[in-house]
Structure 1
Amino acid sequence: MRSRSILGAVVAAAVSVSVLAFAPAASAATNSFRGVNWADARDNYVDGWVIPTGLTASDSYSTVRGKADGILAGFQNLLGANTLRLPVNPQSVNSAWWASYQGAVDSALAHGMKVILSYWEANTHKDGLVDDTAAWNTMWDTITSGYGGNANVYFEPMNEPFGYSLSSWVSLCSGWLSRHSAIPRGRVLISGTGYNDNVTGVGASSALSGTLLSLHFYGFWASDTTRSAWTTNLSNRLGSYSSRTIIDEAGAPMTTGLTYTGGQNQDGNVFTAYFAATTDLTRARQMGVVYWPGLRSGDSYSITRQSGSGLAVNNASGVAQLRWGWGL
């Protein structure tokens, strides 16, 4: 997630290769992705290792795995989530931290969850471009070597590629697909242009056919207070590509006392109208949603908080509305 202050200013266990070859392409609906982001308290844009809330840099693989077991069980039991989106960067993967960090991925897989691994650029860059192409390639080589054979792991080459034009972004993604051609396209999420905010360009690209698409959508991007206005806003960003698209970041304040359920009462407030429109549309179009964030300390949007070795819900009405959007 691009920090809200900046965004507001800008826009207000392996299987054989033969099995991989027969894995399905992008499906006609994405609502099998009912997910959450597990995020670093620093917003995933970091100059070193990405360390999701609850983990520490000194954690071993077994410690990460144990902590993740409690947190992911919370995502499943309290929310009904079956998908986890995690940040990766070269500093984390091309280093000793990767041996520990994989405990979070492996925990999710052991829980039967899908995992989306997404590249985030460093905090000192934030220019919407891959920071170091060679290091980025090495990172993805390592990740796909380890998890390319697992059908529940999905790959997002870059989060919020706003520094690229449509043509240059398509070119970069085409290169990624060629380099990792053993990965079925149906397990690759291509981010929308800008701040992941529009998928019509990448959806129309024949070079990216068969891939899934990812979209980000937030209530602080506009000041509308009606569901109808927000529905139009979101629909325009999707175009005719809803069936390929997962909204892998969407969220609203969960610690400020807002009530997200209530039909007509959802109009009249920017965030309740936004969240109702988003979840109504994803339910109607059978789209996947990966909430931002499922857990992140210090973030008022976090739908859960740590409680002992597990989690507690921050806003029950928010959970109910999210589950509605998931089709539950």
Structure 2
Amino acid sequence: MKRVRILLAAILAAPLLMVAQQASADTNAFRGVNWADARDNYVDGWVVPTGLAAGDSYATIKTKSDGILAAFQQQLGANTVRLPINPQSVNSDWWARYKATADSALAHGMKVIFGYWEANKDGFVDDTAAWNTMWDRVTADYGGNGGVYFEPMNEPFGYSLNAWVSLCSGWLSRHSSIPRGRVLISGTGYNDNVTGVGAASALNGTLLSLHFYGFWASDTTRAAWRANLVSRLGSYSSRTIIDEAGAPMTTGLNYTNGATQDGNVFTAYFAATTDLARERKMGVVYWPGLRDGDSYSITRQSGSGLAVNNPSGVAQLRWGWGL
């Protein structure tokens, strides 16, 4: 009888196990936006996303963040925000206040991705000791929260594949208490190809992040852009979040008319990107959700809230999210 009970339990558990494995193979639970500094996030100083001010208190940042993040949820359908960090911001008193952005997102039931931007714009970690101190502090504060994800570096274009894998392996070892499924390893170059990091056994179990932009080529067909993106993903779509992709949202382009998506670089690019993301169940974190002075910004500040810059762009992004 005991053997029968064990066998029955195994049979009943098998479908549940299959469902769990399938769920873990998709990243489309990440429907996100980047919230960026108007100066871009490559700053030698504190990163201060649009709408915030360096003199703001924690309470003020929390109030501002509550409004902006609620607008991302209500107007876009976002459930994830990607926030920039650097040692200048975290290893200073700004961090105690800036954390209100993440705390607000978590209180709204959103996922948070912390990503490191370097200041020298050379594709290398600026100061390894300061970088380690930064990540020690960030993971100490948020490592126990399952809604927070960590991206050791944004666009590591200074490193060879082997050097980048080595740096990431060191990060994973130093922060071994963080589940690998909550770590995003950037693709090589400008985060533009995940085939190398995907194949690296030292990085097994991590998520991968890819960037993909329409100004990288001059193609005007969805088919050409799809082929471009597919080559950058290889066989690693199931682990990959496209955590930067964006197109002009203030120039009047129509992104949702299928008959005219071909014929323009950006409408063809954005359609191909969102179509493939939907098809392969990949997460997309749009660049940017909000950033002053950026024609790609899908929203803008309006009064005490946000306004959408291009409803057709929002519709196409939501399509890519599977909504």
Distance in 1 between the 2:319 and 2:110 partners? 19
Matching residue of 2:235 = 240
**Are positions 1:130 and 2:125 aligned together?**
yes
Per the alignment, in what secondary structure is the counterpart of residue 35 of structure 1?
strand
How many Å apart are 1:145 and its aligned residue?
A: 0.2
**Are positions 1:118 and 2:102 aligned together?**
no
Matching residue of 1:12 = none
**Are positions 1:92 and 2:89 aligned together?**
yes
**Are positions 1:70 and 2:70 aligned together?**
no
Q: Counterpart amino acid of 1:316?
A: P
Per the alignment, in what secondary structure is the counterpart of residue 160 of structure 1?
coil
Matching residue of 2:105 = 108
Distance in 2 between the 1:27 and 1:128 partners? 31
**Are positions 1:153 and 2:145 aligned together?**
no
Q: Counterpart amino acid of 1:115?
A: V
**Are positions 1:319 and 2:314 aligned together?**
yes
Q: Is the 8 A contact 1:261 1:318 kept in 2?
A: yes
Matching residue of 1:4 = none
The 5 A counterparts of 1:1-328 are 27-122=24-119, 125-328=120-323
How many Å apart are 1:27 and its aligned residue?
A: 2.0
How many Å apart are 1:25 and its aligned residue?
A: 12
The normalised TM-score by structure 1 is: 0.92
How many Å apart are 1:307 and its aligned residue?
A: 1.2
Per the alignment, in what secondary structure is the counterpart of residue 87 of structure 1?
strand
The normalised TM-score by structure 2 is: 0.93
Measured against aligned partners, the alpha-carbon deviations of 1:151-183 in whole angstroms (never above 9, x if no partner) come to: 000000000000000000000000000000000
Distance in 2 between the 1:323 and 1:248 partners? 15
> Structure 2: 5+ residue runs without aligned partners?
1-20
Paired-residue identity, %? 83
Distance in 1 between the 2:132 and 2:304 partners? 36
Q: Counterpart amino acid of 2:32?
A: G
Measured against aligned partners, the alpha-carbon deviations of 1:227-265 in whole angstroms (never above 9, x if no partner) come to: 000000000000000000000000000000000001131
Distance in 1 between the 2:178 and 2:127 partners? 22
Per the alignment, in what secondary structure is the counterpart of residue 250 of structure 1?
strand
How many Å apart are 1:225 and its aligned residue?
A: 0.1
Q: Is the 8 A contact 1:254 1:303 kept in 2?
A: yes
Distance in 2 between the 1:116 and 1:26 partners? 20
Distance in 2 between the 1:170 and 1:247 partners? 19
Distance in 1 between the 2:23 and 2:48 partners? 30
Q: Which has the higher contact order (CA 8 A, sep 6+)?
A: 1
> Structure 1: 5+ residue runs without aligned partners?
1-23
Per the alignment, in what secondary structure is the counterpart of residue 41 of structure 2?
coil
Q: CA RMSD in A?
A: 1.3
Per the alignment, in what secondary structure is the counterpart of residue 285 of structure 2?
strand
Bigger Rg over Cα: 2
Residues paired across the two proteins, number = 304
